[in-house]
Amino acid sequence: MPKSIHPKDALNFHKKGKPGKLEISPTKPLTTARDLSLAYSPGVAIPCLEIEKKPSSAYDYTSKGNMVAVISNGTAVLGLGNIGALASKPVMEGKAVLFKRFADIDGIDLEVNTEDADEFINSVKVLSKTWGGINLEDIKAPECFIIEEKLSELLDIPVFHDDQHGTAIIAAAGLINALDITNRTIDNFTMVINGAGAAGIACAELLNAMGMPKKNIIMCDTKGVIHRDRTDLNQWKSAHAASTKKRSLADALKGADVAFGLSVKGAFTKEMMKVMAPKPIVFAMANPDPEITPEELKKIRPDAIIATGRSDYPNQVNNVLGFPFIFRGALDARASRINMEMKIAATNALAQLARQDVPDEVSAAYSGVELHYGPEYIIPTPFDPRLITTVPPAVAKAAADSGVAQKPVKDDVTYRRELAMRLDQTASMIQMLSARVKDNPKKMVFAEGEEERIIRAAYQWSKDGYGSSILIGRKSRVLNAIENLGLDPNLEGIEILNAKISKRNAHYTDFLYSRLQRSGFLKRDCVRLIHQDRNSFAACVVATGDADAMVTGTTRNYYASLKDIKRVVAIEKNKLLFGLSIMITRSRTLFIADSTVIHTPTSEELADIAIQAANEARALGHTPRVALLSFANFGNPTMKGTERIHEAIEILNKRKVDFEYDGEMSADVALNKELLELYPFSGLSEPANILIMPGLHSANIAAKLLGQVGGGEVIGPILNGFSKSIQIMPIGANVSEILNYAMFAAHDATLLKVKNNNALSKVGNK
């Protein structure tokens, strides 16, 4: 169990709502008697008879062509070992979710309760007509080799053991680039692979197929070098036995150019690394703890290029870069197998992608840091939106060229366009935000620090590397809750502040009194607020610079919390305070404003909201397209109440803003490309992704309706316009939601800091 995840959070995540992570949803309307007759009896008989006559038409009339089975017997699950078929189900469901998330493939998990390879093979064989492909997962060696090889022979659909080939493909892609950077070639370097399991053997076989001489690889297992004099080798290990006098891992690494670790924490010692060749390439891929950490390696070998399996270091060897996109290409070409040519094509596509200019949305995931091909960037990131249009076409082409494509892709340009439309590349907003915050950790104030959910969120904030946490509450109660939760009371990065006895209270009181003394507040009123109101105290901590950002709201009404904070924190100069709700669906991301603060915005306020919302969307990696909504479309019908919208458009015209916008328009026109094309004069080239509502009622109702019935997730409202970074959560927010709000607060804190630094720089230059 990763230390950053509390067991209760993991269990609640899987139990909440519908248990598990998958459900089946119909793709056809089933609302009338005729619909039901077409979907089932008697209409369903027609495609059944067509498939009987022509079996390949199953791809046309059923979900077979977009369905992959994720199959395991639970004998080698993650780092948990042989936990059995049933206990592996959460992992297999998770793999199916990744197929959907990254490549729009419908994955279905299947847990086979046997450790007998022949029984497993037969079980899958008799069910195989159901799916378009099979992803074998978490099956121990050597059975995994037997099962994959036999099923590939028996079936006419792709069979792929991701633990072997997925790791090999991603690692080989990174290695190709590391060789290029260090002026080596695929046929001229020496390599040690520590770990002779499924992944280690697959790495060796892929690299051999790509042109690396077999004699240049030495493979090691727990007993040392796999050499030809050993008598304890199975057929898969013996195929990679080296003719060498070297017997230990340390001996093998002397003078080696490359070390691949697919073993255990600490397997690569500093002494071993010191004797490698100049500019060594080290892939320490043990998870969660690598064979040697980048920090340890860089101290002794600053000339090294290193990759790990971890997301908190550069060059992550992450299988999610491979399997969804490999299967996407294989399914679309209707490949009968995934052969070596297709694996090499995927490897080369990933390697070449890392050499291209990195798009803005990827840089946005890393706090705007520009990623460039080099020692710290040899493998694309999972956030790269080009993966879906890069890897599947390469795999599909290789399938056709090698003769295993039963329906070759004929028009590459059209195919890439279809791939781009399969997924909304903005659906990874939270993951991108997470990566950005980790690059710029923040001190976060959790105002309701005695609440169990808040404490768990604060601990995860610190554990996951987002920054440090301040819990506002009575120390005895907070510590008692921490003890009940089984958390470490001495965790570094967690601070507890009691508003009543803080040593900074005099400073906070003076600050608050300076703000409120001309608003009818006496100093004793400010003392009372600081001592007794956690929101006021927490906001002062942030306002005076003792912390970077703050979240609150899980125990109080939203508007009561907002009132508390507005007393303490000023609105940013030349800005409005408003709420921005964000809806993320599979097909699009929408920003809706103002959903919380301004009841009936004036035309000037509508224009200001549009500009601030566009800036926020752009900061999150989106190209803003703003629609100012109404019940009418460009004056039809003409009715009283639309003047504010007209005037707001005129204001935006005069300000010469740098984003697309238009209005007044109805929501369906703003969001539907075909309807939008009926108005060729519109300033929107594509459907809008920012909806500016004419009033608080419509914005709030729309956001909450979408959250309940819209088929997506609504985040927010996110407050925009405070001079300090503060977010208010809904009452009852769970730990994941609390962390999401905290990430938005931290993200805004970074933007505010950059903006203030730029302003100071301009003043200095003057």
The tokens for 192 are: 């040690």
Least confident of 67-76, 275-284, 343-352, 730-739: 730-739
Same domain, 530 and 645: no
**Average confidence (pLDDT) over 193-206:** 93
Q: Are 227 and 247 in contact (CB under 8 A)?
A: yes
Paired residues of 727 in beta bridges? 551
* Residue 445, in any domain of the structure: yes
Same domain, 730 and 705: no
* Residue 132, in any domain of the structure: no
Domain boundary among 721, 739, 757: 721
Q: Is pLDDT larger for residue 620 or for residue 755?
A: 620
pLDDT tens per residue across span 335-368: 999 999 999 999 999 999 999 877 655 665 554 5
pLDDT of residue 2: 45
Same domain, 717 and 730: no
Distance CA(737)–CA(430), nearest Å, equals 11
Helix, strand, or coil (residue 210): coil
* Residue 260, in any domain of the structure: yes
Same domain, 548 and 599: no
Enclosing domain of residue 275: 185-315
Same domain, 682 and 735: no
* Residue 740, in any domain of the structure: yes
Q: Indicate the average pLDDT of the chain.
A: 89
- Give yes or no for residue 285 having a pLDDT over 60: yes
* Residue 137, in any domain of the structure: no
DSSP code, position 177: H
* Residue 249, in any domain of the structure: yes
| pLDDT band for position 372 (cuts 50, 70, 90) | confident
Same domain, 430 and 566: yes
pLDDT of residue 759: 52
- Give yes or no for residue 323 having a pLDDT over 90: yes
**Average confidence (pLDDT) over 607-614:** 95
| pLDDT band for position 423 (cuts 50, 70, 90) | low
What pairing do the DSSP bridges indicate for beta strands 589-593 and 578-584?
A: antiparallel
**Average confidence (pLDDT) over 74-79:** 86
* Residue 117, in any domain of the structure: no
| pLDDT band for position 763 (cuts 50, 70, 90) | very low
pLDDT tens per residue across span 311-321: 778 899 999 99
φ, ψ at 281 (rounded to 5°): -115, 115
pLDDT of residue 14: 85
Contacts 24+ apart (CB under 8 A), 19-27: 20/90, 20/93, 21/90, 21/93, 21/94, 21/96, 21/97, 22/93, 22/96, 22/97, 22/107, 22/108, 22/109, 27/63
pLDDT tens per residue across span 703-729: 888 877 766 678 889 999 999 999 999
Same domain, 699 and 731: no
Q: Which residues are catalytic?
A: 40, 95
CATH of residue 201's domain is 3.40.50.720
**Average confidence (pLDDT) over 373-381:** 92
**Kindly report the CA angle at 259 between 256 and 260, in degrees rounded to 5?**
155
CATH of residue 651's domain is 3.40.50.10750
Same domain, 562 and 621: no
> How many domains is the chain partitioned into structurally?
3
Same domain, 490 and 618: no
**Average confidence (pLDDT) over 445-449:** 95
pTM for the model: 0.67
CATH of residue 495's domain is 3.40.50.10950
Distance CA(421)–CA(710), nearest Å, equals 20
Alpha helices in 440-570 (DSSP H): 452-463, 475-485, 505-516, 523-532, 534-543, 558-568
Domain boundary among 315, 347, 368: 315
Task: List strand residue ranges (DSSP E) for 82-216, in order.
Answer: 106-111, 133-136, 159-161, 191-194
Q: What percent of the chain has pLDDT over 70?
A: 94
Same domain, 512 and 586: no
Distance CA(618)–CA(514), nearest Å, equals 36
| pLDDT band for position 92 (cuts 50, 70, 90) | very high
* Residue 193, in any domain of the structure: yes
Least confident of 123-132, 149-158, 630-639: 630-639
pLDDT of residue 587: 67
pLDDT of residue 380: 92
Helix, strand, or coil (residue 444): strand
pLDDT of residue 203: 95
**324: nearest Cα among 314, 316, 332:** 332
Same domain, 545 and 488: yes
Same domain, 211 and 302: yes
- CA 756 centroid distance within chain: 30
